Structure 1
Amino acid sequence: MNNKLSLMIAAASLSITLTTSAVAADRSDWPESFTVGTASQGGTYFAYGSGWANYIAENLGISGGAEITGGPVQNMALVHTGDLSFGLTTMGPARESLEGKSPLAPGMQMDNVCAMFPMYQTPFSVTVLADSGITSIADIPDGARIGFGPAGSTSDTYFPKMMETLGVNFERRNGSWSDLGGQLQDGLIDVVAFAAGIPIPAVSQLEVQSEINIIEFNQDELAQITESYPVAPFTIPASTYKTLEADSQAVSMWNFAMANCDMPEDMVYEMTRLTMENNDKMVSIHKAARTTIPENYVKNNVLPWHPGAARWFNENGFTIEASQIK
């Protein structure tokens, strides 16, 4: 019995030694730090991305942070080239970039970008000051000055086209969400067309300082938009903003976190694991992360999966076929 016990202890010690060595070896190709591309301050990408980067850095024991960028389109380019290791993107701009249709680099197929995990849906919603008298899309006057967010952002890419489809004539303005919120309050613009996860920090700030209207799409407008663009109907719950007295009808597009496909497999595996297994922590970073759950992995029908992320999903009962992995 003593001999058997000694053998078992020796075997266990050897196993621990080998495991420890494997972990050390697995980290040998990890960078000392990482940066995630987000978007402008005042938007959900920046709040979500900077909180996520800090959370991952703390748990993996490496340095990490967020970088302010122009949003999903620019993030695709920066991650593809390796200027950034990680980024946040929306499925519409991701598809265009993958197909070589990015406005930032026409003809360049950005195919070195891999999906990591689902984030949340980006609703497209319209905000105005209450004293503007605008209560519907049809009320927006000809020549209205509309802020569409940072140039090249998801909102700037799709919302102007949507407005044109709905017959709205406007002057196009760009800027960070925080800046556009200030311009709306100061009367420098008439409308802000937001595309960001809810609650949008800039809208929450606006309704504290001013009386606002959050404009929804009617059924005919919804039908036109969903038929013409890669979006789906989305309901903004009344509880999202104190301004809303009832649920508000919008449209939305899914967001995913992405990695440069050359990032170490074990590093991406650990980052995916920490995110997918700790939703409470993610929700504490931003309420939009309520949908940052494994089941929503099926919302990615655009990007190939990073091998590290795919390994976590496949180990945990979610099927990602080999043909879907980079």
Structure 2
Amino acid sequence: MTTPIRLTVFAAAASALALGSAQAQGEADRSEWPESFTVGTASQGGTYFAYGSGWANLVAEELGLSGGAEVTGGPMQNMALVHTGDAAFGMTTMGPAAESIAGENPIAPGLEMTNACAIFPMYQTPFSVTALSSSGIESVSDIPDGARIGFGPAGSTSDTYFPRMMDTLGVEYERRNGGWSDLGGQLQDGLLDVIAFAAGVPVPAVSQLEVQTDVNIIEFTEEEQQQLIDAFPVSQFEIAADTYSTLEEAARSVSMWNFAIADCSLPDSFVNAVVDVVMSDNDRMVNIHRAAESTLPENWDRNQVMMWHPGAAAWFEENAGADIPDDMIHGG
């Protein structure tokens, strides 16, 4: 894993490079903008990396800056990196965000990570289970005691919540961690029995597995779904039948919302321009990843956990009719 580099400030002359919506920003606004930026994502083979790389490149191109994605441990680490300023932007889910703000992030226990601000809604993360068809595992109740389950990178949303979910559902397992692509290879090689994915769909690693072998995408029963809703910060979700070639009908799941986050100290005009690039043309975002079908202005209200960056709040108030309370805006 590489470590994102802290951003530097560059001269207002760079404003001449701006494209698209950035042309509306004055030189004075751009004088404090960073010359480069990093977006904390997660492991390769997961939705965070594909989605995050895409919007980082889009923003860099449109704003005339140098920017890109960094492989990280996922939402928990992204909260830490953004809070400390080691990454300008990141991506997180509501559960890890709430735990981080409360000082319960395992990376830095006791540190209240309040310098990570919400900037735009991304999509819902479904929790789903995948096994090889040859395993005979077709339901959660089929998972044998002692099954080797891959829960994703340590500290990821999946690793944070899915083991607890399996405990709730009475599954006994051996816990394994790793990047999604690596875990997919281990499943195919028989080194794992199950992968418990928490990632936007379609998950690249699952799509790749489908090409190479026969898999079972396992849905929760109605009872299991309700157990999880009662115990965790998740809601009902269905994985559409056309998400994977393996599915013949929608699969019952639960999900948690994801938001893009930013260092709260970044200039308002910069964050406002970033949000404008991402939110003003949903077709471009969907071309990056299908999960972006939910990256819509009207989903601003899915954040009930994090303070908003002032520049992002202004964009949603002006363009989406958002009514964001002052006490939910950083510095408000």
1:21, 1:231 → 2: CA distance? Answer: 39
1:226, 1:39 → 2: CA distance? Answer: 25
Q: Between Structure 1 and Structure 2, how many residues are aligned?
A: 307
Say whether residues 1:46 and 2:49 are aligned partners. yes
Which of 58, 64, 78 pairs up with 1:75? 78
Which of 184, 188, 192 pairs up with 1:185? 188
1:106, 1:26 → 2: CA distance? Answer: 37
Which of 276, 285, 288 pairs up with 1:285? 288
1:224 is matched with 227
1:205 is matched with 208
Of Structure 1 and Structure 2, the greater helix share is in: 1
2:65, 2:109 → 1: CA distance? Answer: 35
CA drift of 1:21 comes to 11
Structure 1 or 2, whichever has the larger Rg, is 1
Say whether residues 1:104 and 2:107 are aligned partners. yes
**1:37-69 C-alpha deviation (Å, 9 max, x unpaired):** 000000000000001000000000010000000
1:232, 1:321 → 2: CA distance? Answer: 24
CA drift of 1:321 comes to 2.0
Query: What stretches of structure 1 move > 6 A for 4+ residues in a row?
Result: none
The letter of the residue matching 1:33 is S
CA drift of 1:146 comes to 0.1
Which of 262, 265, 270 pairs up with 1:262? 265
1:37 is matched with 40
RMSD of aligned Cα (Å): 1.0
Structure 1 residues 223 and 191: CA distance shift in structure 2, 3 A: same
1:324 is matched with 328
- SS of corresponding position for 1:41: coil
1:162 is matched with 165
1:322, 1:264 → 2: CA distance? Answer: 18
- SS of corresponding position for 2:31: helix
1:302, 1:120 → 2: CA distance? Answer: 16
Which of 84, 89, 102 pairs up with 1:86? 89
Moved more, 21-30 or 140-149: 21-30
1:129, 1:324 → 2: CA distance? Answer: 45
1:307 is matched with 310
Matches within 5 A, 1:13-24: 23-24=26-27
- SS of corresponding position for 1:29: coil
Moved more, 312-321 or 270-279: 312-321
Q: TM-score, normalised by structure 1?
A: 0.93
5+ residue gaps, structure 1, are 1-19
CA drift of 1:133 comes to 0.5
Contact 2:25 2:269 in 1 (8 A): no
Which of 121, 126, 132 pairs up with 1:123? 126
